[in-house]
Amino acid sequence: MILRVEGLETYIGEFHILQGVSLEVPPGEVTVILGRNGAGKTTTLRSIMGLLQPARGEIQFQGQPITGLPAHIIARKGIGYVPEDHGIFSTLTVEENLRLALGSRREELLEKVLELFPDLKVALRKRAGSLSGGQKQMLALGRALVTESRLLLIDEPSKGLAPFMVEKVGEVIRQIKEETTVVLVEQNFNLASAVGDRYYIVDDGRTVAHGEVAELVRDTSLQQRYLGVSLHRH
Ligand SMILES: Nc1ncnc2c1ncn2[C@@H]1O[C@H](COP(=O)(O)OP(=O)(O)O)[C@@H](O)[C@H]1O
Ligand SMILES: [Mg+2]
């Protein structure tokens, strides 16, 4: 396992938000985290990334404990994070955003990422704030990719995007998977089931079910119980 999370509990202020989240993430796969709005998915990613301090539980990355380490150290160890709000700098250009993330890494890396995102290549001189929602998401993914992370945590990349852009996000995640392990939080069940290998369901701050995505696709009662999505599938 590239990532193991065991019995994670996190408070935000006085609120006991995570009350027992456990995950095992095999390398080379896309593990999707599903669950209703407010279930604790974002809090889980933020806790893994060191942006929130867990009160209890253990997180291991590549066999090493990382629980409680600050976010910049965790990033340096090889975990990338694409937050829900993209985490891009609106007043900087696309290129400046990418170069900031690239740092002193090889220039070829930037070229490689731009090949994956032709939309960004033509928009290099544009201010990130002027991009469409879909382009911002591509820039956020591009920024994460130039950091050469071993593991990428991606939070709801399809949020607010038109259906054709959601499909594009799916293609990009499939390509990312060729080189990087992915933990994907996703509310869009069609996207989650199209790219995911394994799933975890988080409900009320706890992991309540997990298995292969192919099984979940067949298990409409589980979908209805925790996700309320099966009626929307076609
Ligand atoms: N800054 C905060 N202060 C208080 N409660 C919060 C804060 N951030 C999140 N929460 C609460 O924590 C719970 C889990 O939130 P979150 O992890 O964002 O859920 P999800 O990503 O699954 O929609 C929700 O009930 C939310 O209201
Ligand atoms: Mg969230």
pLDDT at position 233: 47
What are the distances in angstroms from CA 34 to CA 54, 90, 189? 20, 29, 8
Instruction: Decide: residue 216, CB within 10 A, 0-12 exposed, 13-18 middle, 19+ buried.
Output: buried
Q: Of all atoms in ligand 1, which is nearest to the CA of residue 155?
A: 21
Out of 15, 36, 41, 207, give the residue to mutate to test ligand 1, the one with the largest number of ligand atoms within 8 Å of its CB.
15
Angle between helices 133-145 and 107-116 (to 10 degrees): 140
Pocket of ligand 1 (CB under 6 A): 12-13, 15, 17, 35, 37-43
Ligand closest to 159 (CA) is 2
Give the Å distance between the CA of 27 and the centre of ligand 1. 28
Listing DSSP states for 105-165 in one string gives S-HHHHHHHHHH-HHHHTTTTSBGGGS-HHHHHHHHHHHHHTTT-SEEEEE-TTTT--HHH
Q: What angle do CA 228, 3, 193 make, to 5 degrees?
A: 30
The residues, ordered by sequence, that sit 6+ positions from 125 with a Cβ below 8 Å of its Cβ are 93, 94, 95
Ligand closest to 155 (CA) is 2
Instruction: Decide: residue 15, CB within 10 A, 0-12 exposed, 13-18 middle, 19+ buried.
Output: exposed
Domain boundaries, the chain: 1-78+179-234
pLDDT at position 234: 46
pLDDT at position 229: 61
Please give the model's pTM, rounded to 2 decimal places. 0.94
Ligand closest to 48 (CA) is 1
Q: Of all atoms in ligand 1, which is nearest to the CA of residue 36?
A: 22
Give the Å distance between the CA of 47 and the centre of ligand 1. 12
Cα–Cα distance measured from residue 208 to residue 115, given in angstroms and rounded to the nearest whole number: 39
78: helix, coil or strand?
A: coil
pLDDT at position 227: 87
Options 3.10.180.10, 1.10.1520.10, 3.90.650.10, 3.40.50.300; CATH for 1-78+179-234 is 3.40.50.300
Cα–Cα distance measured from residue 46 to residue 43, given in angstroms and rounded to the nearest whole number: 5
pLDDT tens track, the chain, 234 positions: 999 999 999 999 999 999 999 999 999 999 999 999 999 999 999 999 999 999 999 999 999 999 999 999 999 999 999 999 899 999 999 999 999 999 988 999 999 999 989 889 999 999 999 999 999 999 999 999 998 899 999 999 999 999 999 999 999 999 999 999 999 999 999 999 999 999 999 999 999 999 999 999 999 999 998 887 655 544
Give the Å distance between the CA of 18 and the centre of ligand 1. 9
